[in-house]
Chain A
């Protein structure tokens, strides 16, 4: 199935969880936050949260700043 991450389409296995998606994209779990279809998903749910076809994911990461 396909999901959109920050405007890019990625094909992932059906029933993929958020944690699996981040690992497959080689993105760090620490320092990251994300929203699925505009709703922020707590990291405590990443291991079990099941993604659906067409989900629009916004992924954010902590960076240096003032």
Chain B
């Protein structure tokens, strides 16, 4: 039964880990740590992203690591800030030491205005990091050819964008995401641009294996309630995908047997 598949066996496997939730979340941009932790709990997310920063010697940073570990969350450090493969590899190796995980969200965006990922440097870094034992999840443009190269390079998943980071513009790359999803033999996680729960549901309906959401939750009026909304949307989208969406038609297709009712001649008799 399909319902059994959805409810009990529909696990997402990436590298050495299994996930029951297909909503991955970021930890950035929350107003305070308490809200962040509550929102992550409400999202039921099992994988959360983190960044690495050069320590400012004059300030003490909040310890956000302890509550994440306490809540049993898997950590996915990113290489945000890296502008080329060399910097990204260094950042990944630092992150492995800092967080004691070989998982890495590889992101290389040299342009601060659009934060679009550099495909050439990303592929170069992915090849190196996969050989160095990392579980590599690269953030990329929705480029089916690049995704095939990254898959061949040994990446554990690909993370194509829906729209620029933090733009909340939704899934603007539909045609290309569909090709990536069709071709990929590794999980496809739609990352960036998801601005509302319906965007997440839409990505899941297309057949994405998971989505990563940060800004849309963190800066929502009520991040905790928004987390719940996203969790439901992701689940709904996934179930819709598994159920098999009905096709679309240019013309109307009657849902009720109206013609048979009129043909019976009842209307004429009653006048």
Which residues of A approach B to under 8 Å, CB–CB?
A: 5-6, 8, 25-28, 30-35, 40, 42-43, 58-66
Q: Which residues of B contact A42 (CB under 8 A)?
A: 97
Assess whether B34 is interfacial by the CB under 8 Å rule: no
CB atoms of B49 and A62 under 8 A apart: no
Q: A28, B63: Cβ atoms under 8 Å?
A: yes
Pick from B53, B63, B93, B214: contact of A40, CB under 8 Å: B93
Closest to A8 in B: B57
Chain B residues near A (Cβ < 8 Å): 26-30, 36, 49-57, 60-61, 63-66, 77-78, 80, 90, 93-100, 165-166, 212, 214-215
B100 CB contacts on chain A under 8 angstroms = 43
Q: Are B51 and A62 in contact (CB under 8 A)?
A: yes
> Which residues on the B side are within 8 Å of A43 (C-beta)?
97, 100
A-B contact count (CB 8 A): 98
Q: Say yes or no: A62 contacts B97, CB within 8 Å.
A: no
Chain A residues with CB below 8 A from B96, complex form = 33
Chain A residues in 8 Å Cβ range of B60: 26
Q: Given that A33-B98, A66-B165, A66-B215 are known contacts, is A60 also in contact with B53, CB under 8 Å in the complex?
A: yes
A30 touches B80 (CB 8 A): no
Which residues does chain A contribute within 8 Å of B54, judged by CB atoms?
6, 58-60
- What residues on B are CB-neighbors of A31 within 8 Å? 63, 65, 98-99
Q: A63-B64, A66-B78 are in contact. Are A33 and B27 (CB under 8 A)?
A: no
- Docked Cα-Cα span, A8 to B29, in Å, equals 28
Q: Does B26 lie within 8 Å of A65, measured CB to CB?
A: yes
State how many angstroms separate the Cβ of B131 from the closest Cβ of chain A. 17
Contact of A61 with B57 in the complex, beta carbons under 8 Å? no
Looking at the assembled complex, report how far the CB atom of B219 sits from the nearest CB atom of chain A, in whole angstroms. 11
The reply to whether B98 and A65 form a contact with Cβ atoms under 8 Å apart is no
Contact A33 to B65, CB < 8 A, known contacts A65-B28, A65-B80? no
A48 to B7, CA, bound (A): 50
User: Is A40 a contact partner of B97 (Cβ separation < 8 A)?
Assistant: yes
How near does chain A come to B99, taking the closest CB pair, in angstroms? 6
Residues of A within 8 A of B99 (CB): 31, 62
Within the complex, the shortest CB–CB distance from A18 to chain B, in Å, comes to: 12
Contact yes or no, B29 A27, CB < 8 A? no
| Given A6-B57, A31-B65, A64 and B94 contact (CB-CB distance below 8 Å) | no
**A59 is contacted by which of B55, B63, B166, B215 (Cβ under 8 Å)?**
B55
Residues on A with C-beta less than 8 A from B56 are 6
> Which residues of B lie under 8 Å from residue A32 when comparing CB positions?
55, 98
In angstroms, Cα B54 to Cα A6, docked, is 8
Q: Quick one: which of A27, A30, A31 has the most chain B CB within 10 A? A: A31
- In the complex, the answer to whether B50 meets A65 with C-beta atoms within 8 Å is yes
Q: Which B residues are in CB contact (< 8 Å) with A63?
A: 50-53, 61, 64
Listed residue (A30, A31, A32, A64) with the most chain B CB atoms within 10 angstroms of its CB? A64
**CB-defined contacts of A61 to chain B, threshold 8 Å:** 52-53, 55, 61, 98
